[in-house]
Amino acid sequence: MLAETLAGLKIKPDGRYLDATGGGGGHSAAILDKLSETGRLLVIDRDDDALAVLRERFGADARVIVHKLNFGAIGTDATVAGVAPFDGILFDFGVSSRQIDNPERGFSFMQPGPLDMRMDRSQGDSAAAVVNEYGEAALIRILREYGEEPRAKRIVQALVQARPVTTTEQLRAVVETVADPRERIKTLARVFQALRIEVNGEMGEIDHALDAAYELLASDGRLVALSYHSLEDRRVKKFLRRMEGENRDRYLALPGAETQVRMKAVPRKAVQPGQSEIDTNPRARSARLRIAIKQV
Ligand SMILES: C[S@@+](CC[C@H](N)C(=O)[O-])C[C@H]1O[C@@H](n2cnc3c(N)ncnc32)[C@H](O)[C@@H]1O
């Protein structure tokens, strides 16, 4: 959905843009194609490998700043404040193919590697620490909430029995002992996704980032958020409903109810990929693009 994403940003040639999930730099490069000499692009990522790629790719471009940052912290960062207000902010949530394809990172159940899954390897607990140190109840909650995994309890009991679990192969083997054989791959995907979301605090970071993005946008600035699973998209949707003053009519009199239209979603519903895009890239099936314009 690159074309739709760029159309959503409606790039002004001399505008200021924040790519909050730089990754391999694909979106950043497309933004830069539309920027003039006076336009500015701040690209952030929390992953040092991604930052090395981004610096290599854009380091010589005077319009670009590449900066290591968790997007959950954009509201309190001096570099971000130095470039703001932005005419557009882009989020392309989740992990990059570069992260998934590197066995050393431990994101993939298809490749043997250490059970790490941290996007920023300089801090925080790895997936191995989560699996081996969290209590049973917490692990069940994680698999249910972030993986929507129906066999969460049985999987966690098997994991606790098998501790210590330190590699992707070990985790895979344990999950396979309790997964429905017809749902083997789906179960593995759900378990790995749930752990990744927990390890990286993904949902909380999205909530912080969206609130801060609103503050950092210029009036008429555009927020563009691309989600790859329903948990991410639900956060964005909920945020936009709040920004649109969802309770304006029904609860006008209630204290604390949102009454102001601070952002307007255009279109109101998420944009979904067309069939031809799904045919060429099955991973795009669950992609949802939301675009909103700051009103006040
Ligand atoms: C789907 S990829 C982005 C791909 C990118 N749009 C491109 O065109 O190559 C997501 C990227 O966001 C980064 N990321 C995820 N959560 C982040 C966070 N909380 N703060 C900063 N970067 C984050 C990941 O490290 C990854 O590189």
Q: How far apart are CA 153 and CA 155, in angstroms?
A: 5
Q: How far apart are CA 235 and CA 226, in angstroms?
A: 12
Q: Give 122-125 contacts, CB < 8 A, sequence gap 24+.
A: 122/48, 124/199, 124/200, 124/201, 125/199
Query: How high does pLDDT run on average in the chain?
Result: 95
In 3D, which of 129, 149, 248 has the Cα closest to residue 198? Answer: 129
pLDDT band at 284 (very low <50, low <70, confident <90, very high): confident
What percentage of the chain carries pLDDT values higher than 70? 95
278 C-alpha to center of ligand 1: Å? 21
Q: Looking at per-residue confidence, does 227 or 276 come out higher?
A: 227
9 C-alpha to center of ligand 1: Å? 17
Res 255: pLDDT = 62
32-65 pLDDT, tens per residue?
A: 999 999 999 999 999 999 999 999 999 999 999 9
Residue 38 burial (CB < 10 Å; 0-12/13-18/19+)?
exposed
Residue 25 has a CB neighbour count (10 Å cut-off) of 22
- Extents of the domains making up the chain: 2-97+202-294, 121-199
Are 17 and 83 in contact, with CB atoms under 8 Å apart? no
Q: How far apart are CA 9 and CA 31, in angstroms?
A: 9
For residues 184-196, average pLDDT: 97
For residues 162-181, average pLDDT: 98
For residue 224, which amino acid is it? V
**124 in ligand 1 pocket by Cβ < 6 Å?**
no
Assign domain 2-97+202-294 to its CATH superfamily. Answer: Vaccinia Virus protein VP39 (3.40.50.150)
90-146 pLDDT, tens per residue?
A: 999 999 999 999 999 999 999 999 999 999 999 999 999 999 999 999 999 999 999
**232 in ligand 1 pocket by Cβ < 6 Å?**
no
**21 in ligand 1 pocket by Cβ < 6 Å?**
yes
The topology (CATH level 3) of 121-199 is DNA polymerase; domain 1 (1.10.150)
pLDDT band at 281 (very low <50, low <70, confident <90, very high): confident
Residue to probe by mutation, ligand 1, list 41, 45, 121, 289, most atoms within 8 Å of CB: 45
Q: Looking at per-residue confidence, does 255 or 79 come out higher?
A: 79
Residue 96 Cα: closest atom of ligand 1: 2
140-168 pLDDT, tens per residue?
A: 999 999 999 999 999 999 999 999 999 99
Residues 6 or more apart whose Cβ sits within 8 Å of residue 184: 176
Residue to probe by mutation, ligand 1, list 119, 193, 207, 208, most atoms within 8 Å of CB: 119
Three-state secondary-structure class, residue 70:
coil
**31 in ligand 1 pocket by Cβ < 6 Å?**
no
